[in-house]
Amino acid sequence: MKKNTLQSIIRFLLRTLTITEYVGTENIPQKGGVIFALNHLSYFDTPLLLVNPIRPDITALVTTKYMDKPFIGWFIRTAKGIWINRDIADFSAIRDAAKVLKKGIALGIAPEGTRSKTGEMQEAKPGTIMLAVKTGMPVLPVGITGSETAFQKLGRFRRPQMTVRFGKPFVVPTPKPGNRSNELKRWTYELMLRIAALVPESYRGIYKNEQKGK
């Protein structure tokens, strides 16, 4: 199956089985490399990004622990996803991600590194900001709500309501010599505050009381 066929199927299923809304799509660059940085709640998150209404070229970094799961593995390969081993410093995956971005393709990545089991945002890792600095590409904050209970609602024959909200993209400045580690941590925190501003307070977790304006 081709990627665009998969996207058509997902769009049909979302329209039929869910109530899904995309908000702030005017903030998405029409072309060029851009990093979609999202809070991660569910297996639904990757399909939701894959069919965003502006950038059908989007791919994503996905953990290798799903490679051997028959359906998920097939789905990610069909979607042209990039496998990354979260248990090591996977420089090969980062190089592949950088190449994709420099070709002008959009890339989705979850700064937290794994799905939240509580629905609340978790402490992020610096990998997203490191990739942004390495490539010079803008980062687009994305806040997802409703996907964490989507499967349960579908199992009860109810249509889940999901919202994907896009913030304004920003470019991370090159860290000053001798202060790289602190700068990466500061901008990682800043990114998560921008994502937190896109979701209700109950989703913000450790970033609950410090959200930024959109």
Distance CA 29, CA 104 (A): 11
Neighbouring residues of 64: CB distance < 8 A, sequence distance ≥ 6? 83, 84, 85, 86
Is domain 3-202 in CATH 1.10.3720.10, yes or no? no
Q: What is the pLDDT of residue 214?
A: 42
pLDDT of residue 211: 52
What are the extents of the domains in the chain?
A: 3-202
Mean pLDDT for each 10-residue chunk of the chain (214 residues)? 96 97 98 97 95 97 87 93 84 93 97 92 94 96 97 96 98 89 95 97 90 46
